[in-house]
A = this chain, B = another copy of it.
Amino acid sequence: MAAKRPTVTIKEVAEAAGVHFSTVSRALSPATRARVNPAIVARVEETARRLGYRANTAASSLRTRRSHMVGLVVPDLASLLFPAILNGIEHTLQEQGYLTIVADTANDPERHRRILSAMVERQVDGLILASAMLHDAVLDEWLDGPAPIVLINRTDDSGRAPAVLSDDLRGIGLAMEHLAGLGHVRIGHVAGPQTLSTGATRRRGFAAAGAALGRRALPVAEAASFSREAGRLACAALLDAHPATTAVVAANDLLALGCYDALTARGLACPGDVSVTGYNDLPLMDLVDPPLTTVRFRHRDMGAEAARLLLARMAGQETAGDVLLRPELVLRGSTAPPSAAVGRGGAGPAAGGRRSPPRARR
């Protein structure tokens, strides 16, 4: 239908409408529209529509230094955690007239550096980074750059950029209380990489919750990455070292799925022999076998909140510190009271507690 038009500019609209092009500019911009004769505004809009005028953002961006684009950097696009987060970001931004550039670092710092550079060159007005590491040299280079930065899901240790996070301490606490309430005493943690704030904070949360329950030095196995395979390996190591374990708190859902694999491999049932909890409540976690008990936070809200925070910063407002999303525990089939059975794979030296009956839920 629309013929391959050779780009129509405000000058052509101006000529067709019989006014000066600066008037067209004013008439078309919501901010200045009020300053021009309503009749002319109507005429300009009509001719603009008729000629199929499309603003050239490159030109206006050059002039105004605002591109109305925001960059989102994620460490792994294929992770099931990001679709919903991206959704929340994108919708919130779109409502305010912003478009979102998305790029994937594939966990590669060099790539991270190139991406940030490319985004800044495209004059993004702000940046949302889901890719922060705890010590992040690349991030550091851009913290004082031209584009305001908001961190999401993970934070770094500089504390120089506001972050939108799940309250991991609380979330892990919820899982621990649930397991303790079920009667578990020998609880282990399959931790995530300690180079990431999620991995480190959840591990701290595990230790803190353990201490609060009067259990110090609960065993921890650290996974090399937040993946199912790494979870399997770490869980196997945990069970090797502590065969009497009756519950494992995994630092995220993928790790928990890996725990399922490790349990299956040694003929243990979940939750019959060992209970497992996850973190994130990824899509379909209610459908896996057994349905995963896990800690949930609203992914979409996390995205929306980060977008709002960035919008505020881009508007020059000072923002308060990090925002912590309140997590909730989703009870499903992967947790149950510890079984009374003993002697499974050489009970540890201090296996006495394992005989205690399940405590009442509190």
Contact = CB atoms under 8 A, between A and B. Distances in A.
Question: Interface size bucket, A side?
Answer: 35 or more
A58 interface: yes
| Number of copies of this kind of chain in the complex | 2
A90 interface: yes
Contacts of A56: 62, 121, 123
Give the dominant DSSP class at A's interface. mixed
A87 interface: yes
A274 interface: no
Contacts of A94: 103-104, 115
Interface of A: 1-5, 7, 54-59, 61-62, 67-69, 77-80, 82-84, 86-87, 90-91, 94, 97, 99-104, 106, 115, 117-123, 140-142, 144-146, 257, 282-284, 287-289, 300
Closest 5 CB pairs of A and B: A289-B289, A58-B61, A287-B288, A77-B87, A58-B62
24 contacts: A4-B146, A7-B146, A57-B58, A57-B123, A58-B62, A59-B62, A62-B62, A77-B83, A77-B87, A77-B90, A78-B87, A80-B80, A80-B284, A82-B83, A83-B83, A87-B104, A90-B102, A91-B106, A94-B115, A100-B101, A257-B287, A284-B284, A284-B287, A289-B289
